[in-house]
Amino acid sequence: MQRNLSEITEFILLGFGDLPHLHIFLFFVFLGIYILTIAFNILMVFLIVTDHHLHTPMYFFLGNLSFLEAVYSSASLPKMLGSLLTGDKTISVKGCHIQFFVVALLIGTESYLLSVMSYDRFLAICKPLYYATLMNGKLCIQLASCSWINSIVLVTICLVLLSQLHYCGSNEIDNFLCESLSLVKISCSDTSLVKYVILILAFVFSFPPFLLTLISYIFIVAAILKIPSTTGKQKAFSTCSSHIIVVSIFYGSIFIAYFKPENETIRGLNKIFPLLYMVLPPLINPLIYSLRNKDVKEALRKVAGKFWKGNLCLLVPNTDSSFLPRHKAVWVWRINA
């Protein structure tokens, strides 16, 4: 007999349920990853907001990217950490839908933002004389807003369809988080329409942004190859090398997770592959931009310099003591503000 969705109040995220002896070890591993991910991305946002040298279109989009990756990690990892520490693998139906909405929204937005950033690099390298005019503040806000709004609309459509599904069998989800395909898999409703819509939305989320990114870099590479000097080529390539690495990690992680071959060997790793796009891009991206970008490194040096200047105690002589002989100096600690 089919039970209504309202009768099921929670799902069970199995996660690493088959490796109970590793739960404490995995908890500390992913806790460290989560802390570093949040710290790196928040630091990147802070640098971009506070340093006026980073108030450019490229860093405006990078700030959006770092913000969404911090939120994305907070939407997926804390639940897994709680499960590893306490053994409680349950998640409410509403909580599952909220987690799906946030994670899918941010993955889709990141895909669009990466394509927008590739378009920004295309204008900077292929049309440098018109770059400041074309990529103005208004266009930057419009492109970023469209990336967020498109994702919100598409994910909302998918969420509405998923919320109509009924469950009459197992409520166990063999994953770390609530994904659309995982929810469809355990449903006993007719899921043909939902699968069809999910396929279309996945295509809209991935292929057009990827195609725009690919086309942009085809023109970028062609323009770089036309530069006569080797130094000029290296300088032009350095302006987009970080973005190329980030794009490769993002699409590579998703491709491995969702388009892997189905066989017995790979099937045993199905729960491991989603960790690639859950953990790798949010952790690695800010490191790539900070280590390979001289502007970000310079901004980081300024912040570190101000921090040490404001907090380092210096031992300096004090000759203002009226109650001591003038030829004697008293050494005191003073904060160098």
Across 87-104, average pLDDT: 88
DSSP states along 263-274: SHHHHTTTTTTH
- The three-class DSSP label of residue 311 is helix
**Which is more confident, 333 or 222?**
222
Structure tokens at 61: 């989009």
The answer on pLDDT for 299 being more than 60 is: yes
Range with lowest mean pLDDT among 25-34, 152-161, 312-321: 312-321
| Beta strand residue intervals within the chain, DSSP E | 10-13, 90-92, 172-173, 313-318, 330-335
Q: How many residues does the chain have?
A: 337
The answer on pLDDT for 2 being more than 50 is: no
String of b and e for 8-27 (b: at least 16 CB within 10 Å)? eeebbbebbeeeeeebeebb
Placement of tokens 């396929």 in the chain: 199
Across 9-35, average pLDDT: 84
The answer on pLDDT for 3 being more than 60 is: no
pLDDT at 309: 63
Structure tokens at 122: 């295309």
pLDDT at 129: 87
Across 248-276, average pLDDT: 66
The answer on pLDDT for 263 being more than 70 is: no
The answer on pLDDT for 14 being more than 70 is: yes
What domains, with CATH codes, occur in the chain? 5-292 (1.20.1070.10), 295-337 (no CATH)
92 has which bridge partners? 10
Give the angle subtended at the CA of 255 by the CAs of 253 and 259, to the nearest 5°: 135
Structure tokens at 311: 């907090």
The answer on pLDDT for 276 being more than 50 is: yes
Instruction: Convert the pLDDT of each residue in 180-202 to its tens digit.
Output: 888 888 887 778 888 888 888 88
d(Cα 226, Cα 228) in Å, to the nearest integer?
A: 6
- Is residue 79 within 8 A of residue 100, CB to CB? The reply is no
- Is residue 187 within 8 A of residue 166, CB to CB? The reply is yes
